[in-house]
């Protein structure tokens, strides 16, 4: 029996800390209790304007108990045409708990950029340095917003989640995600971004997955909105969406948001995001994300850049591109999705009107075996729902 954080006070071997929170079995508790470990900023909803979900026939056969166990699933919600047709909670999760999205957070930011462009606050073709002159001495000095959105920035950064040294460790210190030695406590996310000076190729050439690109866009969003990132999400996305619960995002010691990976939502509310997408950006009786932005995510993206990139081998023999922080599967059976380490996903099928939010606490950050298994389950769900 899992005794993590079950006794008060917990025994040392059952205590979750910043040292162990991303490892199993501690993650089965920590991923839905992030704000007890790391400072956060609230993403307010409007409780008086909740986008109600219908309840269809619960199709328990969509995901087997063995699959839930083997894939370390914490929760799954499947929406079909506005109805919950499958919902399960495991480990420490329940309907009201907010689970960390990790890099599905990037996909949420991508939607927000579309809203801000519609509002004439953001020009995605402009250089990042137009908005953040502080990065003119870095590898980002001539990168565009679009380069950052599509992960085509030629900045040197090795996103090795198992590394024990190098820039990614300083990145975790800056984000407040690891215990930080005194020598690193001066560093926050914004100052860390200004240390990334080394180039690794041309911008706009190939897909190169670098999480700090998204934190930089979070800084841009705050600059153009003259407001805290969490407030911008709340006013532009979360309240219009009709989210049932508030969300939150982790922040560094100086209040900068971990835009690339720190958002925490309920499983149902993340599924609502997918439902809004399969309705072409509309939801709760209003257009939230421009329909043209949703169309662009599904239909555009540089396949050649993707094929040259570091994640193409993970999707063999598939017509995939990456657009505005979303993975886009093209062809006769189109789908987009966000992916987060340790098994976080949001899948959207516009044709069948399906949204699948999926949270896990897998010990392996990027298991090469997990994604094909998850995609197999997801495609089976899609085939069974018409």
Give tens-digit pLDDT for 278-321.
999 999 889 999 999 999 999 999 999 999 998 999 998 789 99
The total of structural domains in the chain comes to 2
What's residue 292's pLDDT?
Answer: 99
Question: Phi and psi of 171, rounded to 5°?
Answer: -60, -45
Give the residue numbers spanning the domain of 23. 1-30
Q: What is the pLDDT of residue 184?
A: 84
**Residue 365, helix vs strand vs coil:** coil
CATH number at residue 328: 3.40.710.10
Q: Are 45 and 268 in contact (CB under 8 A)?
A: no
pLDDT of residue 1: 55
Neighbours of 285 (CB within 10 A): 9
Indicate whether 176 and 143 sit together in one domain: yes
What are the two backbone dihedrals, phi and then psi, of residue 55, each rounded to the nearest 5 degrees?
-125, 110
Q: How high is the pLDDT of residue 76? A: 98
Q: Pull the structure tokens for residue 104.
A: 């599905």
Residues 23 and 36 reside in one and the same domain: no
CA atoms of 312 and 331, how far apart (whole Å):
16
Mark whether 338 and 289 lie in a shared domain: yes
Count of Cβ atoms closer than 10 Å to residue 120 Cβ: 8
| Same domain flag for 57 and 197 | yes
Mean pLDDT of the chain: 96
**How far is CA 199 from each of CA 43, 154, 155, 227, rounded to the nearest angstrom?**
35, 6, 5, 31
139 in the same domain as 246: yes
Burial code (b: 16+ CB inside 10 Å, e: under 16) for 186-219 equals ebbbbebbeebeebeeebebbbbebbbbbbbbbb
3-state class (DSSP) for residue 348: strand
Query: How many CB atoms sit inside 10 A of residue 295's CB?
Result: 13
The DSSP-derived string for 232-296 is HHIIIIIHHHT-SS-EEEEB-TTS-B-TTT-EEE-HHHHHHHHHHHHTTTEETTEE-S-HHHHHH
State the Cα–Cα distance between residues 334 and 231, nearest whole angstrom: 33
**pLDDT the model gives residue 317:** 78
Residues 276 and 222 in one domain: yes
pLDDT at 239: 98
In a shared domain, residues 76 and 4: no
Q: Are residues 84 and 111 in the same domain?
A: yes
Do 190 and 213 belong to one domain? yes
Is residue 358 helix, strand or coil? Answer: strand
Q: Which residue has 């166990």 as its token pair?
A: 69
Q: Which helix (H) or strand (E) holds 41?
A: strand 40-43
Name the DSSP letter for residue 364.
Answer: S
pLDDT digits (tens, 9 = 90+) for 177-230: 999 998 888 899 999 999 999 999 999 999 999 999 999 999 999 999 999 999
Same structural domain for residues 220 and 167?
A: yes
Shared domain for 22 and 91, answered yes or no, is no
Note the helical H segments in 163-258.
167-175, 189-193, 212-225, 229-233, 239-241
Return the sign of the alpha-carbon dihedral for residues 170, 175, 176, 178.
negative
- Nearest alpha-carbon partner for 339 in 381, 304, 379, 367: 367
What's the Rg (C-alpha) of the chain?
20
Whether residue 100 sits in one domain with residue 66: yes
Sites in the chain below the pLDDT cut of 50: none
């Amino acid at each position: 029996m899992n005794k993590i954080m079950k006794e008060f006070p917990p025994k040392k071997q059952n205590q979750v800390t910043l040292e162990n929170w991303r490892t199993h079995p501690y993650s089965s508790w920590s991923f839905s209790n992030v704000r007890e470990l790391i400072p956060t900023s609230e993403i307010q909803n409007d409780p008086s304007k909740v986008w109600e979900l219908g309840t269809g026939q619960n199709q328990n056969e969509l995901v087997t108990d063995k699959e839930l166990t083997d894939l370390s699933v914490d929760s799954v919600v499947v929406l079909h045409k506005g109805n919950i047709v499958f919902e399960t909670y495991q480990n420490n999760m329940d309907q009201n708990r907010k689970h960390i999205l990790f890099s599905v957070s990037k996909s949420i930011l991508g939607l927000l950029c579309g809203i801000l462009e519609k509002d004439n606050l953001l020009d995605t073709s402009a250089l990042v340095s137009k908005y953040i002159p502080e990065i003119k001495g870095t590898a980002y000095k001539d990168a565009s917003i679009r380069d950052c959105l599509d992960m085509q920035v030629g900045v040197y950064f090795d996103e090795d989640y198992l590394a024990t040294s190098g820039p990614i460790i300083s990145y975790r210190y800056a984000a407040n995600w690891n215990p930080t030695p005194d020598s690193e406590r001066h560093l926050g996310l914004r100052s860390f971004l200004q240390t990334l000076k080394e180039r690794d190729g041309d911008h706009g050439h190939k897909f190169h997955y670098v999480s700090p690109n998204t934190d930089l866009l979070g800084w841009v969003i705050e600059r153009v909105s003259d407001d805290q990132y969490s407030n911008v999400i709340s006013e532009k996305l979360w309240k219009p969406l009709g989210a049932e619960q508030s969300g939150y995002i982790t922040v560094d010691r100086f209040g900068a948001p971990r835009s690339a990976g720190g958002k925490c939502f309920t499983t149902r509310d993340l599924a609502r995001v997918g439902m809004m997408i399969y309705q072409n950006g509309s939801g709760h009786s209003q257009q939230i994300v421009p329909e043209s932005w949703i169309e662009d995510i599904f239909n555009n993206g540089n396949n050649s850049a993707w094929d040259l990139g570091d994640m193409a081998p993970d999707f063999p023999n598939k017509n995939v591109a990456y657009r505005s922080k979303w993975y886009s599967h093209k062809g006769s059976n189109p789908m987009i999705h966000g992916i987060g380490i340790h098994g976080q996903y949001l899948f959207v099928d516009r044709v069948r009107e399906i949204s699948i939010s999926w949270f896990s606490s897998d010990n392996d950050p990027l298991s090469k075996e997990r994604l094909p298994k998850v995609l197999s389950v997801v495609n089976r769900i899609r085939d069974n729902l018409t």
